[in-house]
Chain A
């Protein structure tokens, strides 16, 4: 799942910062993707408010 997330994030990064910068951010983007995978799969109930 984090691979798919990383693809989406990389695509956004290319759009915002260009190919070169997106490439430089690769390892940071991978970390974000792994984090988001955990955040998206953590168990929450409707009553769990922000």
Chain B
């Protein structure tokens, strides 16, 4: 057994069976971090003493067959936006360099209650926006892992932890997961509470989950969801709507071709694949999304920006400053459009169980950017639960992902469909790092 390669699903099972000691597991992952972190730079803070103390506690409890939950003894990474009690939370910014919260974020409370060990805080881009952080892609260190959940994606892909928590406001979970060849789920916003998590834009922020399989995501969601995730019976054939409008115009030829190949493969495996057409309101979705983000981000930073602007990266600074120029009436209008957009887009699920697009425009670009969230934004705006799964390698050896979006609050359906898609894909590749 190679602990660093275990999925979260497998790890939780072998811990429960007594085949893997939580202490040995933590030692294995810390050794992995020692070997690769210097090159990947996924972590902001790892408190080894605290982690080992927690592992000892989990081990003691496991010996007595007292398991706190489905994540008992499993070390996970937490994006450095989520407050962690007694553990530094920097939000990717100099402003919060020494900030140590006195309480856990809601999402952190949930994973701890399920028995997880917080292995450490993973790199977030500054204030969860687009200025690249220091993290590199484990598949090729000259390429970005994506962002803003850069460290969470890189840590999971780099086999430094089996799963991690991230956040998404446009594409900050799905895009890095695709770039790093791992799986992700961004559930409906109200599934997982966001209290004590530094916001980018309140109405758009979502907690996101990163792991190595749909089953991993399912376990994490069950542990973290504020309400029970309903399960559905598998239909005779899943109906998937492939959307080429808009998405293919923003994808590379390689991404389009591989997406089409996957669609054909799924069709051959019994999925019903048909073209889905976008409603007219989709045309104003990108402008609506950007307007809401700018206005809300400006409000988030209202107090701290004036005296700290010199520490802000160019992209987040521009978002804050342009957000300050937007009228309340325009912001409210954008919110009204969003509500209408959500209603119009939801009608697509009258014909389909899930909607399929590429998860990113192509493979991961270079380190000067975290990539373009254009593929993910429409689903975040819609607040549809959205999963990404790796399905191929590009010509440059970097991963390519597929994105599947489901009806609001039907994560159970999406997860089951995702497992079925995953079985057809059969993606096994890992970075050689």
Contacts and interface: CB of A to CB of B under 8 A. Distances in A.
A50 to B, nearest CB: 4
B284 A39 contact: yes
A32 B326 contact: yes
B325 A16 contact: yes
19 contacts: A13-B321, A21-B321, A25-B322, A29-B322, A29-B325, A31-B290, A32-B294, A32-B326, A36-B287, A38-B284, A39-B287, A39-B291, A39-B334, A39-B337, A42-B281, A42-B288, A48-B336, A48-B340, A50-B332
B339 A34 contact: no
Interface in B359-375: none
Given A28-B322, A44-B340, 5 more contacts: A38-B283, A38-B284, A39-B337, A42-B333, A48-B339
A40 B333 contact: yes
Interface string A1-33: 000000001001100110001000100110110
Contact of B336 (A13, A28, A38, A49): A49
Interface residues of B, number: 25
A17 B321 contact: yes
SS class, residues of chain B in contact with chain A:
helix
B34 to A, nearest CB: 42
A21 B324 CA distance: 14
Contacts, number: 70
B318 A28 contact: yes
Given A38-B287, A39-B291, A44 B336 contact: yes
Nearest to B338: A50
A3 to B, nearest CB: 15
Contact of A49 (B281, B283, B288, B339): B339
Interface of B: 281, 283-284, 286-288, 290-291, 294, 318, 321-322, 324-326, 330, 332-340
Contacts of A21: 321
A39 B248 CA distance: 24
A17 to B, nearest CB: 6
A48 B335 CA distance: 10
B324 A44 contact: no
Contacts of A34: 287
A49 B336 CA distance: 5
Nearest to A29: B322
Contact of B288 (A12, A31, A39): A39
Contacts of B325: 9, 12-13, 16, 29, 32
Contacts of B330: 36, 39-40
A47 to B, nearest CB: 10
B339 A50 contact: yes
A44 B288 CA distance: 13
Contacts of B334: 39
Contacts of A50: 332, 335-336, 338-339
Scoring A16, A25, A35 by chain B CB atoms within 10 A of each residue's CB, the highest score goes to A35
B341 to A, nearest CB: 9
Contacts of A38: 283-284, 287-288
A22 B318 CA distance: 10
A17 B322 CA distance: 11
A44 B339 CA distance: 11
A45 to B, nearest CB: 9
Contact of B291 (A12, A16, A35, A48): A35
Nearest to A32: B322
B321 A25 contact: yes
Contacts of B284: 38-39, 42
Contacts of B318: 25, 28
A42 B336 CA distance: 10
Contacts of A36: 287, 291, 326, 330
B406 to A, nearest CB: 25
Contacts of A13: 321, 325
A34 B70 CA distance: 49
A16 B324 CA distance: 9
